[in-house]
């Protein structure tokens, strides 16, 4: 059963003054994190221009991934922890252009093109698995992510040099089998970011990356208004009723998760394009967790996520990421505390959100049982 956790956001009927309280209550999570961010930024004593500059870079490289989480939430499939699989598909494209050695924007486009069929296939398979575990999508997608990580290692540690012969000592391990741990992507770095690029008051703005994000926002908005989007929403409201109403629920769920996976693949390519190195065996590991934490900090829940949530959440989460090691250093004399703290925030916010959702669901079921 998919109950709305979010309270209806109609403005409170009372007199003026109530609206302020209402806004506070409706946006409690982001506001709390805003306070935390401001506190940590002040404590870190970092120059504000540095923080903003870092933040713009991080927004441009992470937003695409975070927004790719929204469609499965609308379709009632919860948070797509299998985002990792999409990221892997993206990396398949990146590894291909590394092998072919296509640099610059052409390489970037080629990576996108090459990764898409893989992403569609992976998304489809993920969807098939999630259709078998309805009501347990989140734990399944989580384990699926871990499983895929093992499969990824098997393919790229064993497959390269045995099944797929690559004669490039720069990327293959000494024994001739398996990819190296880190691949250099200097030939691709900033191919999107620096295509159109200017500075405003010392802050660099990668215009094309933000245009890509804007297009994705528009696409997400657009798809919700189509017939498919309506079907996503009715699945999100109540899967059982949607099925009775004659909507092919399994197929719609497959489409939702496939879209999310393809977007995640492209998002990962944008991410690596900015970073400039691919850690072959762990670049993708934490993509799902960090993206989900960012989305939730923006005020999203397991059953409700909007583009605003994604943007606000990414900004807050990454501010915390930038300042917390330094804040930990200033406050406790140990930068590691800050690092552990931000990991804790990521896990904690996801845990808390899942907990509240499950609790609400359980109470709702109990209330219904009592009414009967």
Partner 1 sequence: MNPMALWKKLTDKYGFPKVCISLMLAIFFIGAFMQKQDVAAMLADSTVRIAMNGILVLAMVPSIVSGTGLNFGLSLGIITGLLAGCIAIELDMRGMSAFLWAVVMSIPLSAIMGYAYGWILNKVKGDEMTVGTYLGFSVVSLMSIGWLLLPFKSPEMIWAIGGAGLRTTIALSGRYAKVLDDLFAIPFFGSKLPTGAVLFFALFCLLMWLFLKSKTGVAMAAAGDNPKFAAASGINVNRQRMIGTVISTVLGGIGMLVYAQSFGFLQLYQAPLMMPFAATAAVLIGGASARKATIAHVVSGTILFQALLTVSLPVINAAMNVGNLSEIIRIIVSNGVILYALTKVGGGH
By the rule CB under 8 A, 348 interacts with partner 1:
yes
Phi and psi torsions of 256, nearest 5°? -60, -45
Looking at beta carbons only, is 66 or 346 nearer to partner 1?
346
Q: How far is the CB of 42 from partner 1 (least distance, A)?
A: 21
Site string for partner 1, 221-240 (x = CB under 8 A): ------------------xx
What's the distance, CA 22 to chain centroid? 29
Instruction: Evaluate the CA torsion angle 267, 49, 211, 99 in order and state its sign.
Output: negative
Residues binding partner 1: number (CB under 8 A): 49
By the rule CB under 8 A, 1 interacts with partner 1:
yes
By the rule CB under 8 A, 139 interacts with partner 1:
yes
Answer for which of 5, 120, 337, 364 binds partner 1 (CB under 8 A) is: 337
By the rule CB under 8 A, 340 interacts with partner 1:
yes
Q: For residues 199 and 40, is the Cβ–Cβ distance under 8 A?
A: no
By the rule CB under 8 A, 244 interacts with partner 1:
no
By the rule CB under 8 A, 217 interacts with partner 1:
no
By the rule CB under 8 A, 153 interacts with partner 1:
yes
In 3D space, the residue among 360, 335, 340, 344 whose CA is nearest the CA of residue 44 turns out to be: 335
Answer for which of 8, 175, 202, 246 binds partner 1 (CB under 8 A) is: 175
Contacts of residue 239, defined as CB under 8 A and 6 or more positions apart, other chains included, come to 2, 76, 134, 249
* Alpha-carbon separation of residue 255 from 84, 207, 330, 334 (angstroms): 17, 30, 48, 47
Q: For residues 266 and 89, is the Cβ–Cβ distance under 8 A?
A: no
Give rounded-to-5 percent helix, strand, coil for the chain. Answer: 70, 5, 25
d(CA 10, CA 245): 28
Structure tokens at 234: 């009715």
d(CA 294, CA 67): 10
Q: Which stretch binds partner 1 (CB under 8 A): 38-46, 119-127, 172-180, 319-327?
A: 172-180
Q: For residues 40 and 327, is the Cβ–Cβ distance under 8 A?
A: yes
Q: How far is the CB of 288 from partner 1 (least distance, A)?
A: 12
d(CA 126, CA 130): 6
Q: How far is the CB of 131 from partner 1 (least distance, A)?
A: 9
Answer for which of 12, 31, 134, 190 binds partner 1 (CB under 8 A) is: 134
Dihedral-angle region of residue 135 (phi above 0 means left; psi in -120 to 50 means alpha; beta otherwise): left
21-60 exposure pattern, b = at least 16 Cβ within 10 A, e = fewer:
ebeeebeebbeebbebbeebbebbebeeeebebbbbbbbb
Looking at beta carbons only, is 108 or 156 nearer to partner 1?
156
By the rule CB under 8 A, 343 interacts with partner 1:
yes
Looking at beta carbons only, is 186 or 367 nearer to partner 1?
367
Q: How far is the CB of 365 from partner 1 (least distance, A)?
A: 8
By the rule CB under 8 A, 246 interacts with partner 1:
no
Q: How far is the CB of 55 from partner 1 (least distance, A)?
A: 23
Looking at beta carbons only, is 26 or 143 nearer to partner 1?
143
Looking at beta carbons only, is 209 or 353 nearer to partner 1?
353
Answer for which of 158, 196, 211, 244 binds partner 1 (CB under 8 A) is: 158
Burial of 160 (0-12, 13-18, 19+ CB in 10 A): buried
Q: How far is the CB of 156 from partner 1 (least distance, A)?
A: 10
The site for partner 1 (CB under 8 A) is made up of 1, 129, 132-136, 138-140, 142-144, 146-147, 149-151, 153-154, 157-158, 175, 177-178, 239-240, 332, 334, 336-337, 340-341, 343-344, 346-348, 350-352, 354-355, 357-359, 361-362, 365
């Amino acid at each position: 059963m998919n109950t709305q956790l979010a309270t209806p956001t109609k403005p409170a009927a009372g007199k003026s003054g109530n609206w302020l309280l209402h806004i506070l209550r409706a946006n409690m999570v982001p506001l709390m994190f805003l306070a935390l961010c401001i506190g940590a930024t002040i404590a870190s004593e970092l120059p504000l221009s540095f923080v903003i500059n870092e933040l713009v870079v991080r927004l441009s490289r992470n937003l695409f991934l975070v927004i790719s989480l929204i469609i499965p939430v609308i379709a009632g499939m919860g948070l797509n922890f299998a985002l990792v699989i999409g990221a892997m598909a993206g990396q398949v494209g990146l590894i291909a252009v590394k092998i072919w050695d296509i640099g610059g924007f052409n390489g970037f486009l080629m990576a996108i093109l090459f990764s898409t069929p893989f992403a569609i296939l992976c998304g489809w398979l993920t969807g098939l698995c999630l259709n078998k575990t309805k009501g347990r999508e989140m734990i399944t997608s989580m384990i699926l992510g871990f499983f895929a990580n093992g499969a990824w290692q098997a393919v790229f540690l064993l497959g390269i040099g045995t099944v797929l012969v690559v004669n490039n000592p720069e990327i293959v391990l000494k024994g001739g089998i398996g990819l190296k741990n880190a691949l250099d992507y200097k030939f691709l770095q900033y191919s999107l970011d620096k295509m159109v690029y200017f500075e405003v008051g010392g802050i660099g703005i990668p215009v094309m990356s933000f245009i890509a994000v804007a297009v994705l926002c528009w696409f997400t908005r657009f798809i919700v208004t189509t017939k498919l989007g309506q079907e996503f929403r009715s699945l999100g409201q109540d899967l059982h009723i949607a099925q009775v109403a004659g909507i092919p629920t399994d197929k719609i769920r497959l489409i939702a998760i496939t879209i999310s996976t393809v977007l995640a693949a492209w998002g990962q390519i944008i991410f690596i394009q900015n970073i400039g190195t691919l850690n072959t065996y762990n670049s993708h590991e934490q993509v799902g967790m960090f993206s989900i934490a960012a989305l939730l900090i923006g005020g999203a829940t397991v059953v409700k996520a909007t583009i605003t949530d994604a943007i606000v959440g990414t900004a807050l989460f990454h501010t915390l990421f930038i300042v917390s090691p330094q804040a930990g250093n200033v406050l406790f004399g140990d930068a590691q505390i800050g690092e552990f703290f931000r990991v804790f925030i990521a896990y904690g916010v996801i845990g808390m959100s899942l907990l509240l959702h499950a609790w609400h669901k359980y109470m709702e079921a109990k209330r219904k049982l009592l009414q009967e």
